[in-house]
Amino acid sequence: MSEERMQILEMVRDGKITAEEGVRLLEAVHPKAARAAGAAGTPGAPGASGVDRDDPVGSLANAVAQAIQSGDWKSIVGQFAGSWSGGPMHGLERKREREAGGWEFLTLSEGDHGAFELRPGDSLSVEHEAGSVEAAATAGDARLELEGEATHSFEIYVARKDKDVVVVGHRTAPFAKLPRLKLSVPCIVADVALKTAGGGLTAEAFSVPVHLKTAGGSVRVRGQRGSHVEAKTAGGSIKVDGTVDRIDLHTSGGSIKFEGRTGAFDVKTSGGSIHIDGAELTMGEHTAKTSGGSVHISLARQSSVELEAKTSAGSMAINLPGAEGERSGGRISPRYHGRYNGDGAKLKVSTAAGAVHIDLAEEIAEESEPPSV
């Protein structure tokens, strides 16, 4: 392994840069090395060697995340270097900072899990050092459950400062196995944020803004009702469904899919397909961009859009009845500029390698009135 790549991995290990930043640096220094590292670190993924060949950067991000969780850096560089020691205890350091900063530490009803207090208008953040997080809206009390086998060397705590409440899972020793966090969150909160250094994130049935960020893992938002969804992952897919005011979905390696209805979006992936089914665009600016993959957007019939679409290597199909526009570019690098129902909103769609398909979404049938008796 070159000295530059070793230094990057050491910076991730020591917490000087995030896993996401490490992935990008490794890819910039030597893309082939990034692919090789991903193959070494993601057993069980698609492909004979254990790496998703369509998503090497995402595979590497997952490998970095898994190494953070297990403490086993051989999973990334075992063929080049010896064993790695655990990084600094940032979780413990952050807890001491909160203690000094006047945070109130709340009681969980069953020790390291159970019920805890949330008040109307609280802003809830969940910070997990490594491992997945699942949160679901509930009409009941706030509750935290832990799942996993042979977990050890970790601490869970809940702290409050004014309207900010944090639920934290962190290591207490360099080598630790942390549990999965599952939360029931009352509908009285103002917003919810989920963050993990490595693992999947799931949010279900919320009607408040949700923010999700993981350095390596998939993101799933189910049954969102209104408000804003923001999701970021360095390596993994993002899938959202529901009726959402706005979606901001970014991944460095993986597909993005939305189903339902949204009035605004900004979606980007460095490697993967984009599928948005149910965008009602009447104002503002909206973007769908991928460096490698197809883009399929279905617009609501009442949308009003000025559209710019392009692909550097692929086909293009614009199926919007009554749209006025013109095509340019070559057969394998087509461009399109036009309008559908005016120009209330601006939509830019682009891919470096893949097809572009824009059409009308199927109308969602309204629930019929129950029969009279």
101 and 152 together in one domain: yes
11 and 98 together in one domain: no
Tens digits of per-residue pLDDT, 18-31? 555 566 566 555 55
> Which domain-ending residue is among 145, 177, 197?
197
Residue 318: count of CB within 10 angstroms of its CB = 18
Q: Is residue 298 part of a domain?
A: no
* CB-CB contact of 206 with 229 (8 Å): no
* CB-CB contact of 196 with 214 (8 Å): yes
Tens digits of per-residue pLDDT, 233-290? 988 999 999 999 999 999 988 999 999 999 999 999 988 999 999 999 999 999 999 9
Residue 223: count of CB within 10 angstroms of its CB = 16
Indicate the number of domains in the chain: 2
60 and 117 together in one domain: no
DSSP track, 161-191: ETTEEEEEEEESSSS-BPPEEEEEEETT-SE
Q: Indicate the pTM of the whole model.
A: 0.76
Q: Cα–Cα distance between 28 and 37 in angstroms, integer? A: 14
Closest C-alpha to 86, from 197, 3, 168, 179:
197
142 and 66 together in one domain: no
Number of H helices, E strands in the chain: 6, 26
Q: Is residue 175 part of a domain?
A: yes
94 and 180 together in one domain: yes
Residue 68 three-state SS: helix
Model pLDDT, residue 86: 44
Tens digits of per-residue pLDDT, 35-52? 444 444 433 333 333 333
Low-confidence ranges of the chain (pLDDT < 70): 1-87, 363-373
Q: Is residue 193 part of a domain?
A: yes
Q: Is residue 82 part of a domain?
A: no
| C-alpha pair distances (Å), 351 with each of 16, 283, 307 | 33, 23, 14
> Which domain-ending residue is among 77, 106, 128?
77
* CB-CB contact of 38 with 234 (8 Å): no
Residues in contact with 162: Cβ distance below 8 Å, sequence separation at least 6, in sequence order: none
102 and 193 together in one domain: yes
93 and 190 together in one domain: yes
Q: Is residue 346 part of a domain?
A: no
100 and 180 together in one domain: yes
11 and 54 together in one domain: yes
> Which domain-ending residue is among 17, 45, 77?
77
By DSSP bridging, strand 334-340 and strand 274-279 are unpaired
Q: Is residue 363 part of a domain?
A: no
Q: Is residue 16 part of a domain?
A: yes
**Domain, as residue range, for 65:** 3-77
Residue 201 tokens read as 């994130």
Model pLDDT, residue 287: 98
Q: Is residue 94 part of a domain?
A: yes
* CB-CB contact of 284 with 247 (8 Å): no
Tell me 173's DSSP state.
S
Q: What angle do CA 316, 298, 259 make, to 5 degrees?
A: 130
Tell me 60's DSSP state.
H
Residue 124 tokens read as 């809830």
107 and 54 together in one domain: no
Model pLDDT, residue 328: 95
Q: Cα–Cα distance between 231 and 233 in angstroms, integer? A: 7
